[in-house]
């Protein structure tokens, strides 16, 4: 269902992100990348979509090897078409089970690459098993690695939450108006999204420690965790 949905909306995905974020999502991605400590050598970008976060990370860390992973071939085709960086690779894969990407984590000497940074921008809300995605992120990263999550979370204020939900549902209806199943899924994902506090608690149960939190808009936050 998720792959079919994002295949259907791949062509308008970038425009949808601009509208949902009021034109701020590219700036948010750059600001999120600036929160990272040090200079990670290997970065894994989960649910990379059309590659915008991977591109922001490449600007911030030009010496890093960046692997973008997504479940939808149509999204990856668009990301590859936009890519001008030799240090970015895009591969098909499921963030909830990265075992199929084992070859991508191997160096020529057969040593496994441990990613010092794992990122995900506007993707966690679409993972049916968020705990599994967090566990996989922790499994393939260095013991002192970082997890960076940029996401639309449910605002703690009920009124702001209701207004944010109305806006997101309106945008969902605009971009999925010709696909009833896609609209139903987007509406459900909006209504069931976690608050930032709930997500932090979920990440902590997987062994992550919150290091920094940056608020962009009510309901949109960037969270930086240490493994």
Each residue of 110-149: pLDDT tens digit?
A: 455 567 899 999 999 889 899 999 999 999 888 889 999 9
- Structure tokens of 39? 């200079």
More reliable by pLDDT, 7 or 94: 94
Residue 148's pLDDT is: 98
Residue 167's pLDDT is: 66
Residue 100's pLDDT is: 75
CB atoms within 10 A of CB 211: 15
- Structure tokens of 173? 């209806």
Short-list 219, 214, 211, 112, CA closest to 165: 219
Residue 176's pLDDT is: 60
What residue spans of 52-175 are helical by DSSP H? 52-60, 73-82, 130-140, 158-175
Residue 114's pLDDT is: 62
More reliable by pLDDT, 105 or 51: 51
Main-chain phi, psi angles of 19, to 5 degrees: -70, -45
Residue 17's pLDDT is: 74
pTM of the model: 0.85
Short-list 19, 14, 28, CA closest to 81: 14
Mean pLDDT of the chain: 84
End-to-end distance of the chain based on CA atoms, in angstroms? 31
> Is the pLDDT reported for residue 108 higher than 50?
no
pLDDT band at 156 (very low <50, low <70, confident <90, very high): confident
Residues 82/110, Cβ–Cβ less than 8 Å:
no
pLDDT band at 169 (very low <50, low <70, confident <90, very high): low
Q: Which residues of 126-155 are buried (b: 16+ CB within 10 A; e: fewer)?
A: bbeebeebbebbbebbbeebbbbbbbbbbb
Mean pLDDT within 65-77: 95
Whole-angstrom Cα distance, residue 126 to residue 69?
14
Distance of alpha carbon 215 from the chain centroid? 16
CB hemisphere CA count around 224 (13 angstroms): 18
Tokens 């962009």, residue? Answer: 216
Distances in Å between the alpha carbon of 11 and those of 14, 17, 54, 95?
8, 12, 18, 22
Residue 177's pLDDT is: 59
């Amino acid at each position: 269902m998720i792959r079919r949905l994002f295949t259907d909306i791949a062509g308008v995905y970038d425009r949808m992100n601009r509208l949902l974020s009021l034109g701020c999502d590219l700036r948010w991605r750059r600001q999120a990348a600036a929160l990272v400590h040090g200079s990670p050598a290997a970065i894994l970008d989960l649910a990379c979509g059309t590659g915008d976060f991977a591109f922001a990370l490449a600007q911030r860390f030009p010496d890093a090897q960046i692997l973008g992973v997504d479940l939808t071939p149509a999204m990856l085709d668009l990301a590859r078409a936009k890519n001008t960086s030799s240090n970015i690779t895009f591969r098909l894969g499921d963030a909830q089970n990265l075992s199929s990407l084992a070859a991508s984590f191997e160096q020529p000497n057969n040593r496994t690459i441990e990613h010092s940074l794992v990122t995900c921008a506007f993707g966690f809300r679409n993972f049916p098993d968020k705990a599994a995605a967090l566990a996989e992120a922790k499994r393939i990263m260095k013991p002192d690695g970082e997890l960076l999550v940029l996401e639309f979370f449910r605002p703690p204020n009920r009124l702001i939450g209701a207004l944010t939900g109305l806006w997101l549902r309106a945008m969902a209806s605009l971009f999925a108006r010709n696909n009833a199943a896609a609209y139903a899924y987007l509406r459900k994902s909006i209504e069931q999204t976690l608050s930032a506090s709930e997500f932090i608690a979920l990440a902590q149960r997987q062994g992550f420690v919150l290091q920094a939190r940056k608020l962009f808009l009510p309901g949109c936050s960037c969270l930086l965790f240490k493994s």
